[in-house]
Structure 1
């Protein structure tokens, strides 16, 4: 360009200089705009990540059972009051093909619920049950929750749902819930993570507080927020669908653990846990198996149900005394053990 200017072509020189200045100005303007855009994206990204971290922190808690030493400090009168204040309603979803399991569950652990009712897919003459008129487990679950809430919302503060393959120790459940407030949205059991969703597995049993029942039943009346047919969105398991609806209502899955971090709601049987412990912890089979305060085990046969009843409620080792600080009294008129 200097050659051109020296030769006297000043108009051309000015033109080229103007063009370069204009292009440079556009370039700088683009860099500035790009920098601002990147800064905004980064800032929004941090906001989003921060929100997601807060959501993840809130979604999943490892809830632990109360410390036994704390319960020893409770006065006798308070213990009696506490034992009477916990009212657990048990929901068992059954089908006619579950007949032998149905009989075992009815004759075993459900006697320890404050009230237990069976919800069946169709009328069964042999056992008393509430007919849900569907074999779809998600529809059965929805109908059962609505029925129970409408009929018993003023009588019970905790609601436990299980399949007939599950064995539950209700006293351990009540002990775990000792310091939990049923007016808060608790939804707990054995949690499973699937993508962004964390939900409670029905195989280990599902516990809802009264507040969770209120929120769920509000959603169940609105098919747009909690669809009746799983195929309308995607076909997923009933416990996962329940988790989707509860998360929509601000109720997040909580994993129940003892003081050692062991699960209290188990999706397998004791036999499988012991087999695994013998493989991985051969020197600590009992300690490595499962929690001393376990609430549920799953995958039991009718015979195993009765064996569990004997082991949990009948068998005692002479000279080995359990001084429980809190005794949960059986329901009035109950024939439990």
Structure 2
């Protein structure tokens, strides 16, 4: 009886110690030491129409041609339906798009990573991307197979951003003291951010391949930890009115939320007119989005856009 009581008390004591450790870790600052830091999160806005119109025609042409986006789509065999939909829809609008697969799939071409772990997949994809394309592209967009992206809106958002600066952009979230870009809305790295990331990959203390905590961080959080060591901070992307442009939900879900909370302004309250991504789409919905974004046009309406982002040479995109 005494032995059982002793074992019980040991269990209670160990459980209490574990809870204390977890609580303390939740307050530890990840990155440069554990001292208190100021809020580093920024809200980066897209240029407004007047800013673009003030540019000369030659400047507009040069800018539209200089922004080149390489798209990374992380896939697994179970994503085969989404994989096909992404290949046939929005990815055609990237300057180059490649699928990075956990394993070989005979029906589609992909860069095979030979791992099912999402963080390892992401690490390998970024490492290969940097080695192959560091001199060819200046912006790198990573998405999951359930994401739909409007690449022209991404290019417009990046219009006056300098890829030589360490930008890390998307829909930001907070977990404890860690600010990170939610992978479900898509992740954008400048070439400078990717360069710093590729360098910190070599430091297993700062950027471990398997993570170094009691619990396993999601891949987007682990990416934020590694980037923070290099001085790259998560930046929330918004349009000129302050609305998010990287969405972690589908249009359908956002409209339902707007109908419940702002029924008098469902369209205006739902989403930005310059939205870049939506997530959680089925393959069929991706084709519907493709029709709505690139095919359907209300007769008599003109948008007088100051810039045109032409598709890559030889592309069969819409």
State TM-score, norm by structure 2: 0.88
CA distance in 2, matches of 1:289, 1:232: 38
Matches within 5 A, 1:11-30: none
Counterpart pick for 1:320 among 301, 304, 316: 301
Structure 1 runs (4+) deviating above 2 angstroms are 230-234
Deviation, 1:142, is 0.1
Q: What does residue 276 of structure 2 align with?
A: 295
Deviation, 1:259, is 1.6
State TM-score, norm by structure 1: 0.83
CA distance in 1, matches of 2:82, 2:175: 30
Q: What does residue 19 of structure 2 align with?
A: none
Q: What does residue 106 of structure 1 align with?
A: 87
Deviation, 1:257, is 0.5
Q: What does residue 115 of structure 1 align with?
A: 96
User: Which deviates further from its counterpart, 241-250 or 224-233?
Assistant: 224-233
Deviation, 1:192, is 0.3
- 1:238 to 2:219 alignment: yes
Q: What does residue 51 of structure 2 align with?
A: 70
Equivalenced residues, count:
284
- 1:127 to 2:108 alignment: yes
Q: What does residue 26 of structure 1 align with?
A: none
Deviation, 1:300, is 0.2
Q: What does residue 276 of structure 1 align with?
A: 257
Matches within 5 A, 1:81-230: 81-230=62-211
Contact 2:64–2:159 (Cα < 8 Å) also in 1: no
List runs of 5+ in structure 1 lacking aligned partners. 1-50
List runs of 5+ in structure 2 lacking aligned partners. 1-34
Q: What does residue 285 of structure 2 align with?
A: 304
CA distance in 1, matches of 2:214, 2:208: 8
CA distance in 1, matches of 2:303, 2:282: 29
Deviation, 1:329, is 1.3
Larger Rg: 1
- Higher helix content, 1 or 2: 1
Question: RMSD value over aligned CA atoms?
Answer: 1.1
CA distance in 2, matches of 1:309, 1:67: 25
CA distance in 2, matches of 1:146, 1:185: 17
Contact 2:185–2:277 (Cα < 8 Å) also in 1: yes
CA distance in 1, matches of 2:121, 2:312: 27
Matches within 5 A, 1:48-59: 52=36, 55-56=38-39, 59=40
The secondary structure found in structure 2 opposite 1:284 is helix
Deviation, 1:138, is 0.2
CA distance in 2, matches of 1:248, 1:196: 14
